[in-house]
Chain A
Amino acid sequence: MSDVAQIPENMELIYQYPDSMTKKSTHYCPGCTHGVIHRLVAEVLDELGVREQTIGVAPVGCSVLAYYYFKMDFAEAPHGRAPAMATGIKRVNPDKIVFTYQGDGDLAAIGTNEIIHAAHRGELITTIFVNNAIYGMTGGQMAPTTLEGQKTTSSPFGRDPRIAGVPVHISEIMAAIPAVAYATRQSALDLPGINKTKKAIKRAFMAQQQGLGFSIVEVLSTCPTNWHVDPWDAMQWAKENMIPEFPLGNTKVSDAVAALKV
């Protein structure tokens, strides 16, 4: 488990790299919550003891290199297609744990078709959906989840619903799909939020393990770099602006998922 050479007798090892993570430094910007969310997923896979049985699918976007940080088999999908790829992987490996890790551009714009149909088929996969209301990797363009009035490089006067429509609410869409066992929106904006997010991720993977249906955890996140604010202000901005638009909490919990002891 631990590669710490020697722990003095009067000390206890209480925090270390999860087995499910590599020790590579991430390329994420300072203040980005991808690192935190990666770690939560890794801790959950460790706790469930399924690292060696897990196959991940990375998206296109800031987390395109997720497979450098997760220590398990991984594929890298075309933009938005992770749920289709994960479908192929899971159907030929029904005994494996399969998850996609996707951002808002990937999942809620170019990949809506794939996510909605994977959910309707009740694919026994888990999706971690990181929503920071902007395209990060391509340099801060408007995302499907960009708030009304929010300025981005492609909505320079603020998102105008008359031109660009309104934000996409994935967790609410998922709630309307009968084959979805678990859909929830959490946040990585403070410690209580992070703790709840971890619990939600664990519930989602357990739902998959038990074969209960499709599970998705949306995590509200930040992008200090493209929002042009420091990490602390980014957290505050997200709490003040994103949470009112994207309320936290479960949108769908099947009875069987509710009965899981997480």
Chain B
Amino acid sequence: MARELLKGNEAFAEAALRYGLEAYFGYPITPQSEALEHLAKRMVEENRVFIQAESELGAINMVYGAACCGVRTMTSTSGPGFSLMAEGLSYIAGSDVPAVVVNMQRGGPGLGNIQPSQSDYFIMTKSAGHGDFHPIVLAPANVQEIIDMMGLAFDLAEKYRTLVLIAGDGSLGQIMESAELPPMQPFPRPRPDWALTGAVGREQHIITSLDLSPEGLEKTNLRFQAKLAEIQKNEVRWKEYQTEDAELLLVAYGTVGRICLSVVREARKQGLKVGLLRPQTLWPFPSARIAELAGQVRGVLVSEMSAGQMLEDVQLAVLGKTPVKFYGRMGGIVPMVDEILAAVKDMEGGTGK
């Protein structure tokens, strides 16, 4: 396939379709509506299912229904819509069905605004709904990566029969850059044997998150936890840039991770040995590698478009081995390279150099 100039929202939508998306259910919300609009056209052209739902509650429960049938299904939204979906996300997690949700984060809380943000880290990684569960949370930093992660998201969702979230932000949704889409995958895909397909010559299949017996529900939860442990063992992903000799470590994901790559280059030019770790999975989190690097560097700087949410996971990984500082912008402001670089230099000042 050739490289094309693609907008983030349209790119992930088209990629999802090419990776075998059979049913999309969505509700318009800025800054991801181009995905809904793209699929409104393309899903119909490809004779697949598209519905603009009555609300994000409707959308996520349509996804839940289609997921129970074992098809590749997804929705996409932004913060306020994601909050509404929490109910459905919990039920999806509680009934072992695979589904994918893209959240193009915007400024919050409340209606907030429509500018890029990373302030949904907590709700996505730690509290996507009631009950004990974590979705897998993927964090792309550019248009090519969100394209590639759509395929990964469906594969992981099906491999573990779990919920996979893609943590984008308004900037990633709106940016246009050169990227390559995958070829069209074979379609339709076979339905898995656990799915609701009609009980022809077999016992009925029941998909429910209900278990009224405490012993039964504890057993189910232990099974969920074992699944999550397996995911933590196998699916941690991150990228490192110039960490080999780094004396200071930057940790940032998504759009800020991308900006921090420029910070590293600029810092190196100025003789500062700065490296970057960019988590590609926010859950499971690359804690072990961050802990390792914490033993090597004189300090860690976390940067996010939030008040410091991923920061807590970095602190937990570092466990006080080295100072952890934070530089964040909120309200939809994207931090500039020189701002973060200044924070790096402050840190150098504060760590005894």
Contact = CB atoms under 8 A, between A and B. Distances in A.
Interface in A65-101: 65, 67, 70-78, 81, 84-89, 91-93, 96
B53 to A, nearest CB: 7
B77 to A, nearest CB: 15
Interface stretch (A53-61, A153-161, A229-237): A53-61
Contacts, number: 130
Contacts of A78: 61, 64, 87-88, 91
A121 interface: yes
B287 to A, nearest CB: 33
Contacts of A74: 196, 204-208
A198 interface: no
B22 A114 contact: no
Given A92-B23, A113-B58, A73 B65 contact: no
B55 interface: yes
B143 interface: no
B228 interface: no
Contact of B54 (A54, A65, A88, A117): A117
Contacts of A121: 51
B196 A73 contact: yes
A52 interface: yes
Contacts of A113: 54-55, 57-58
Interface residues on A, range: 35 or more
A71 B54 contact: no
Most buried by A among B23, B58, B73, B91: B58
Contact of A87 (B57, B62, B67, B95): B62
B304 to A, nearest CB: 32
Contacts of B95: 76
Interface of A: 51-55, 57-58, 64-65, 67, 70-78, 81, 84-89, 91-93, 96, 113-114, 116-117, 121
Interface of B: 22-23, 25, 49, 51, 53-55, 57-59, 61-69, 71, 73, 87-88, 91, 95, 196-201, 204-210
